[in-house]
Structure 1
Amino acid sequence: MTRLSCALIAAALLFGASARPAAAIKQFQDEWMKLYVEDNSNEDFVKAAEEAKCFICHQGKKKSNHNPYGEHLEELLSKKDKKDVEKIVKSIKAVAELKSDGDGSPTYAELIAEGKLPGGTLEEAKEEPKKD
């Protein structure tokens, strides 16, 4: 079992494994922006995050599609959590510690610190997800 799998299992146990798929929830975006954008001095990152909006977690035209970052958050949050600010913040911080693309890749927090959106570029996020 990889470190990523262990971290995801631990986070699911910590926050309850009963989370349902999350649609674009304004409260989730608001808390993300408070954590990573409000006091960020990187103007390019702030602009990218403000332009990306829902695409920070979602991909393509349907808001039921998530990029990898959003998939991790979806495992921890559901619509019923939209008023639970503490759980939202804990979930965002938990996902930040996960590797963005498996072993050897930077964490989502490291990507954000580098001024990159955690789910990829806005252009990538606007593309429809590839069917398996």
Structure 2
Amino acid sequence: MTPECIVPIFQVSDLPAAIAFYTNVLGFSVDFEFGSVVGISMGEIQIHLSGSASSGNKKAIGEGHVYIFCDEVDDYYNEIIAKGAGVFIPPGDRPYGVRDFAVKDADGNILAFGKSTHPRSDASHHTL
């Protein structure tokens, strides 16, 4: 078996509002809609948004948390703040070797975005 990717699932209370936030503010695109589950992506990053009408592995609303490694952390931060994203943790250089920040969606799901500050370090185990 060769793993290909991982897709976090965020439980949201208002699916249309969540879609608008993730697409209009954070810059994701809608990949699919299936009932009350919507797949969104940006580059190689995928997230599924699960509305309140979704059945199956339902989790508590707003308890999702994902850490996304990316480039241009400060430029992206400035872009999404200008579009209305609320800051949860402001940008900064962290002692664990990344420059990162975090925002929350309307339900409290946390999205952190970071970039290694060490040229060849494996920062994949560092998170907010």
Q: TM-score scaled to structure 1, two decimals?
A: 0.26
Relative CO higher for 1 or 2, CA cutoff 8 Å, sep ≥ 6? 1
Choose between structure 1 and 2: higher helix proportion: 1
Choose between structure 1 and 2: higher strand proportion: 2
